Chain A
Amino acid sequence: MFKHLKQLTSLVTMIAVVFVFTTEAMAKKSKTLKNTQKKGFVRCGVSQGLPGFSNADASGNWTGIDVDVCRAVAAAVLGDANKVKFTPLSAKERFTALTSGEIDILSRNTTWTLSRDADIGLTFVGVNFYDGQGFMVRKSSGITSTGQFKNGISACTNIGTTTELNMRDFFNSRGISYEPVAFEKADEVVAAYDAGRCDTYTTDKSGLAAQRTKMKNPDEHIVLPETISKEPLGPVVRQGDAVWEDIVRWSLNTMIEAEEYGITSSNADSMKTSDNPQIKRLVGAEGEMGAAFGLDNEWNLRIIKQVGNYGESYKRNIADTGILPDRGPNQLWTKGGILYVPPAR
């Protein structure tokens, strides 16, 4: 009898101890930075393959401007832009993966909207690509503008995106009845559209341009000129860790501001001796720009050296791959675009 009782007490104590400890650990404020440095890599959620934004090659190397945001954060907090663990996520899974703590940054061509920012425990830290929703059609259809859409048109798209909602607004406001065909994965949408299941394929214009390169015969398809929505895409973090939020925000801002001041990955070291104090602050040669985040002073220099400025990232991932050679609104404000970030000082 005593033997049993002893076993019983030890079992109950064990359960109680595990229970109390885990709850307490989870109840404390999340220290994403500390955890990241302890683990030695940044946990980053990306798309399942969108050329130019986040795409893995045959050997598993991720590239894209969304990928570069995570690499910038890794360079800043860990000193090495390659210390990132990428998790490919569908549109449906992405927010749950972030709020549940599976990833620490979601950099997956995600549109910043009020309800997402306010409702679901997320915080958007900035915009790394200004986009808008458009339509793709087959050239042979003779359609050159959305004005030629007629009742009964079928439109392929993804579920779980703002696209589904915009599409409805667009067709409703024009009084056109349409058939929405919504798939879970982008590859399935493209396959169905390519097979002729749908007359048009609608998503963000950058996505259309990128997916077009994946089609059997890219020249047979055109993206219509109209843009039906605003889609500011940017990285997202969990609510409740203000420091981490700041690190991600200013990693992105550093890339954009570096371009503004002409700092590139190749000339960053020589810029330390620049006369311009703003440039010196961006390469860690003046001020204490990392202290507030709990980082050293050269965190921003490492971003520029290892990842490059925004212009370099855009050129490498989007312009040179032929997806969108023209930067459009994603040009610096000094050059006629709308990229404008607060000063790092």
Chain B
Amino acid sequence: MNNKIKRYIPQILTILFVVLIFGFFTINAQVNMDNRGIDFGFGFLKQEASFDMQFTLLDYDGQDSYMWAYVVALLNTLLVSFLGIIFCTILGVIIGVARLSGNFLIRNSAAWYVEFFRNIPLLLQIFFWYYAALRALPLPEKAEPWFGVTYMTIKGYYIPSMIWENLNVFMSCLLASIISIIFIKIYAKKIQEKEGKQLPVLYISLGLITILPLLSFLFGGVTLDFEIPVLKQLAKTSFIFEGGIRLPPELIALVLALSLYTSTFVAECVRAGIQGISKGQKEAAASVGLNPNQILKLVIMPQALRIIIPPTTNQYLNLTKNSSLAAAIAYPDLVLVFAGTALMQTGKAIEIVGITMLTYLTISLSIAALMNWYNKRIEIKEK
């Protein structure tokens, strides 16, 4: 009896304490908002936003609602996070493997890279890329073309846009080739398991993914034109490029800073993962006649991944949350647009900050769930 009470009392106390704290904050906020005549509610989401954004993936105009402004800003946040995660993974794996290279120069350059980029505050790096590197870029009228048709200027990176005709035919061809590749892969695996024969899956796939879409040009009536950016004069000394697609300098600076910074942490995760595999594995693989490439691909990496994935997930989450530093350089992400402009215009601080927090929580949990699923898939299946 005594023991039971002893066991439950701390737990009841904790619950009571949590409830009290939450109750206190809710009541406190309510009382103070009442005193100051501030209403609580989400009705403002339907109101006209009446401000513009410089860069959006979907059509947005100031006449749209705050709700739509939220969606568009969220997509901008997701875009930066997505690009950042892709680039930091590619860079991180290369640098991580390079750090274990037998070549003195490669090994040490990689180490320097990691020490340099992970030890400078991220915000400073963003400022560097945006203000220092941007200032060095030419004005549009002085820009030299890169690859003949793209222009890197202080106002952004202008690239040609593609004008498709019958895009849907092309897309269905692409889809068909991807599906057939998947089937071929499954079939090849079966053959290998049964007869020990290896099909040249890579070549077949490459062939399929080029030939099928190419056929759509010949027989499907698909055409592709490029719209090349052209210099246009706005005033005596002010120019822009017209036509094509423009990647704003804010997006470029942000993706660059985020992926360089995070790639150092990913590189360390990769290095830890590879070094975590006992040397005997490598030696055993070598003794059965695998070449260094095969050793890395077939023996080391599948095991190392189990060590690499969980800490790398953390880095992906960090990158996503760090993308909110966009507000410092005018990239219209969720924090700048929704928790910034929209909050200011409506004054709905509690509602908007609440929504923003919930949104980041949802994004982070989704990434974590995805990575956990992948982690489960590659972990050792014990029989």
Contacts and interface: CB of A to CB of B under 8 A. Distances in A.
A and B associate in one complex: yes
Interface of A: 1, 4, 8, 11-12, 15, 19, 22-23, 26-27, 29-30, 91-92, 95-96, 99-101, 115-116, 119-121, 137-138, 140-143, 148-150, 152-154, 156, 159-161, 164-165, 167-168, 172, 178-184, 188, 191-192, 195-197, 199, 238-240
B340 A159 contact: yes
- Most-contacted residue by chain A among B2, B51, B53, B154 (CB, 10 A): B51
Contacts of B5: 1
Which 7 residue pairs spanning A and B have beta carbons closest together?
Answer: A120-B347, A160-B344, A142-B236, A121-B36, A141-B235, A121-B38, A140-B237
Interface string B217-254: 00000000000000010111110101000000110000
B162 interface: no
Interface of B: 2, 5-6, 9, 13, 16-17, 20, 24, 27-28, 31-33, 35-38, 50-54, 62, 131, 134-135, 139, 154-155, 232, 234-238, 240, 242, 249-250, 327-330, 332, 336, 340-341, 343-347, 349
B28 A22 contact: yes
Contacts of B28: 22-23, 26
B9 A8 contact: yes
Contact of A181 (B38, B62, B330, B349): B330
B235 A30 contact: no
Given A4-B9, A188-B329, A152 B36 contact: no
A183 B236 contact: no
Contacts of B13: 8, 11
23 contacts: A27-B35, A92-B343, A99-B36, A101-B32, A119-B347, A121-B37, A138-B238, A141-B236, A152-B240, A154-B54, A160-B341, A164-B52, A165-B50, A165-B345, A168-B51, A168-B52, A179-B54, A180-B53, A184-B336, A191-B131, A195-B154, A197-B154, A199-B238
State the main secondary structure of chain B at its contact with A: helix
A100 B35 CA distance: 11
Contact of A23 (B27, B238, B328): B27
A173 to B, nearest CB: 12
Contact of A180 (B16, B17, B35, B52): B52
A19 B24 contact: yes
A100 B155 CA distance: 39
A101 B134 CA distance: 40
A8 to B, nearest CB: 7
Contacts of B238: 138, 141, 143, 153, 199
Contact of B31 (A23, A149, A172, A181): A23
Contacts of A238: 36
A73 B134 CA distance: 45
State the main secondary structure of chain A at its contact with B: mixed
A36 B32 CA distance: 19
Given A23-B27, A183-B330, A142 B54 contact: no
A134 B250 CA distance: 25
Contacts of B54: 154, 179-182
B52 A196 contact: no
B43 to A, nearest CB: 12
- Most-contacted residue by chain A among B36, B328, B346 (CB, 10 A): B36
A188 B20 CA distance: 43
B51 A165 contact: yes
Contacts of B327: 184
A178 to B, nearest CB: 8
Contacts of B27: 23
Nearest to A167: B52
Given A168-B52, A168-B62, A184-B327, A91 B344 contact: yes
